[in-house]
Amino acid sequence: MDMFDLFLGGLAVAVQPINLFYCFLGTVVGTLIGVLPGIGTTATLALLLPVTYHLNPTTAIIMLCGINYGSMFGGSTTSILVNIPGEASSVVTTFDGYQMARKGRAGAALGISALGSFLAATASVALLMFVAPTLARAALKFGSPEYFSLMLMAMLMVTFLVKGSMLKALIMVGMGLLLGTVGMDIITGADRFTYGWPVLRNGLDIFPVVLGLYSVAQVLQTIGTSVKMQISNEKLKGYWPTRQDWKDSGGPIARGTLLGFLLGIFPGMSTVMATFLDYGIEKRISKHPEKFGTGAIEGVAGPESCNNASAIGGYVPLFALGIPSNSINAILIGALIIYGLTPGPLLIKNNPNFFWGIIASMYIGNVMCLVLNLPLIPIWVQVLRIPYTLLSVIILLFIFLGAYSINNSFYNVYFAFIFGIFGYLLRKYKFDPAPLVLAYILGPQLEMTFGQSMILSEGSFLTFFERPISAFFMLMALGLIVLGFTKKRSFTTSQ
């Protein structure tokens, strides 16, 4: 069966009424989360995951993916209108988007943001259709040494790319791996770090951990603070870009799409870094770099296209290799496991209707985002007027209800609160929780493939260097450690 037939089969799945409804729901919720500053996509996915337990796995992932790329569309609204990014990936949009709004061109900025995001996301889904199955077929030839070295490289790449000290990132990875060992040993079956608590025999549930680290910690961090937003009361108009706007934005949209998709594939390369890199490239190659920061439409079109393409690119290692490129995809991997699906190269082969249904739904979801995004802007502006203190209380209530509903256990509520305090402390002392989450997700697989490799090689560590693909990944991992510490030392010396 060729790719076109598979896609048609997926389209038949995606247009089922229940899948269309949850795709619509996901894009609306995602756009809302993108508009509201400070909540975040990761926390939202963890919060809403229990709602999906009664759904078909395909329907559930369609909704969760809709939240992800919907938030990319919504994040630009507050960046342009009130100079506050709804999503971290929309920080760069404030540079020129808000300046365009001050010049009376908010409609054009919002229009090129929505249209550029739509074009980039659509093109990236097409790339995903070709790249993910090809990579999955290649990965079927991997053995346990290759998988171990690949996951090790992925975790170290995250530590290399996160903002701040690499030592702090490595500490987070170590904590994540340690948390992943709680429960029954995969190889021997012995209990580890359970301290006689039966509830810990199956390990810590990922979702109370993530809810605590992101959602509860965010609420605790905002206690006693307020977000002041000056929202313009002028009527927005002129959403459709002019011919000159299209001429100025065409190149940035194309370059942002390609750059964002390629960078999204790499573990640890967040959309924030991708958009900053894209903005720098556009400014460097522009004939009028002095316009950037004063309301250049290229400074909106390029980064907004880049962040949407990056979000879609992150699905390549998720579906093809079972490796999350960021904390959002770590949530999705946990969801797949709960739904009884095994992330990795066999996922596409054994569940073609699932994979191609998700792909087809992304095309539909992007159209929904485009159709809904601009007409609903007046509503989103009113939502921004809700006092953030009230919003925080509502969020906290839903967090604990969501934690309890995972398996109707108060232990999950306790764990969410404990990890919320821990997450608050991490933020206070400038530790990024993303490496911890990714290491916690990959830890059990890393341990299992390491054990299998040791059994097959009769305890020889050389097995990771005797196989060419594994050796390549191991050398890359070692190189990332050396480069990471060299970079930090040279940076410190230059101060």
Do 148 and 444 form a contact (C-beta atoms < 8 A)? no
Sign of CA dihedral 312, 316, 318, 324: negative
Q: What percent of the chain has pLDDT over 70?
A: 88
Domain count, the chain: 1
Over 70: is that where the pLDDT of 38 sits? no
pLDDT score for 258 = 92
pLDDT confidence bin for 203, thresholds 50/70/90:
confident
Q: Using 50, 70 and 90 to split pLDDT, how confident is the model at 235?
A: low
More confident residue, 229 or 148: 148
Q: Which residue segment(s) compose the domain that 462 sits in?
A: 3-494
Asked if pLDDT for residue 27 goes beyond 80, the answer is yes
3-state SS assignment for residue 183: strand
Half-sphere exposure of 473 (CA within 13 A, CB side): 20
The pair of structure tokens assigned to 414 is: 């306790």
The pLDDT of residue 294: 83
Query: Would you state the pLDDT for residue 84?
Result: 67
Evaluate if residue 364 carries a pLDDT over 90: yes
**Long-range Cβ pairs for the range 96-103 (8 Å, 24+):** 96/292, 96/293, 96/294, 96/295, 96/296, 96/297, 96/298, 96/299, 96/300, 97/299, 97/300, 99/293, 99/294, 99/295, 100/295, 100/297, 100/300, 101/232, 102/295, 103/295
pLDDT of 58 above 90? yes
Which pLDDT does position 231 carry in this prediction?
56
Written as one letter, the residue type at 386 is I
**Interval 56-79 mean pLDDT:** 85
Backbone φ and ψ for 435, nearest 5 degrees, come out as -60, -35
**pLDDT band per the 50, 70, 90 thresholds, residue 489:** very low
pLDDT at position 213 is 82
Cβ–Cβ < 8 Å for 173, 439 = yes
Give yes or no for residue 30 having a pLDDT over 80. Answer: yes
Q: pTM for the whole thing? A: 0.76
Q: Can you tell me the mean pLDDT for 203-223?
A: 77
**pLDDT of amino acid 361:** 93
Q: What is the pLDDT of residue 1?
A: 57
As given in the structure block, the two tokens for residue 356 are 């191609």
Which helix or strand (DSSP H or E) is residue 192 part of?
A: strand 191-192
Mean pLDDT of 402-413: 75
**CA angle (33, 41, 147) in 5-degree steps:** 160
* pLDDT, position 59: 93
Of 305, 368, 324, give the one whose Cα is nearest residue 70.
Answer: 368
Confidence of residue 255 (pLDDT cuts 50, 70, 90): very high
Strands 191-192 and 183-184: antiparallel
Residue with the bigger pLDDT between 445 and 373: it is 445
Nearest CA-CA partner of 14 in 70, 55, 62? 62
